Amino acid sequence: MRGKERPTANPWAGEVGLMLNGRPLTLKLTLGVLADLEAHMETDTLVDLVERFESGRFSTVDVVELLFAGLRGGGWQGSRDTLLQGDIGGGPVEATRVAALLLGRAFSIEGLSG
């Protein structure tokens, strides 16, 4: 990271921070990117994707697709190739952590009342 620059994110808004190529970025799974993600992924529903993460059966492709969707939802205009060739601060472990957080925050229903 350059200096003390860190990604900022509002967890209450479902956001997660990530350093990509030395730049702090905010990721968020909006309804639109969730619909695109579901259409693009090799899964029947996003619940299947959540279950793969919960059981530890997710793939690298799952992580990449979640990060790409989250970056797009956060307003990033880069390409999938830019992400694939990019340097993620914290490496694959951080990429996986961020992907899991994105899913958790997108589907968290804590505090909601019927």
What pLDDT, on the 0 to 100 scale, is given for residue 53?
87
Q: What separation, in Å, do the N-terminal and C-terminal C-alpha atoms of the chain show?
A: 43
pTM of the predicted model, to two decimals?
Answer: 0.85
Q: What pLDDT digit, counting tens, does each position of 28-48 carry?
A: 999 999 988 888 876 678 888
H-helix or E-strand spanning residue 35: helix 31-40
**Long-range own/partner contacts, residues 44-47 (CB < 8 A, 24 or more apart):** 46/107
User: Where is pLDDT greater, at 88 or 7?
Assistant: 88
**DSSP secondary structure, 56-111, as one string:** T---HHHHHHHHHHHHHHTT----HHHHHHS-BTTHHHHHHHHHHHHHHHHH--TT
